[in-house]
Amino acid sequence: PTLTLDALYPVLFRLWEDRLLVSPDDVDASPVESTFMPGEVVAGTYTVIRNVQALIDTEVHVASARDGQFVALKVARSGDGGIMSRLEHEAAVLRRLGAAPVARLIALTTHGDRAVLVTEWINGLDVGAQARNLRRAASDGDDQARHELLAVCHALADAVGAVHSLGLVHGDLSPHNALVDTAGTVLLVDFGLARD
């Protein structure tokens, strides 16, 4: 046990130093809550339907615009300039990507002192969930599911290739940042870490 603890100490110390490991009664141990409730209007235009994700620096909501279109709102949790810069960067990347297979930029706006990135809402599953569903069906002998799984893999490769052909790297490609819509199209999201 002593050797194991000695070997783990540098890792544990780094986690504690980076505040990823905190005591249970620490304020950072409490869950991150959404700052908008369903029905609230953001940036004077978008009505929140539900929270999708709440992180320390941003939160994502599905909302409806005045014209009834569903949108995704990526909202800075504070007026911090660094977060505003990242959302401005992401908006610039989405403008540059234009017609590539990505969630289309609708607006970059503000709500009070907080930045709000508005993109089209992609109704579907992330590629990881879609792949799990198709693998399960394929293992039960469903040949169509096998073909659909291969099509999703090709569509993901094509989407990444389209971004690369425009001189950009996603920077945070993961199953959660690639969505398969109801038509089977793969679209990439979350370009906050994209770079040339």
- Per-residue pLDDT tens over the stretch 101-116: 999 999 999 999 999 9
Strands (E), the chain: 41-42, 46-54, 58-64, 70-76, 105-111, 114-120, 124-126, 178-181, 186-188
- Please report, as a single letter, which amino acid is at residue 55: L
> What pLDDT shows up at residue 82?
85
Structure tokens at 40: 């609230």
pTM given for the model: 0.82
> What pLDDT shows up at residue 1?
86
> What pLDDT shows up at residue 57?
86
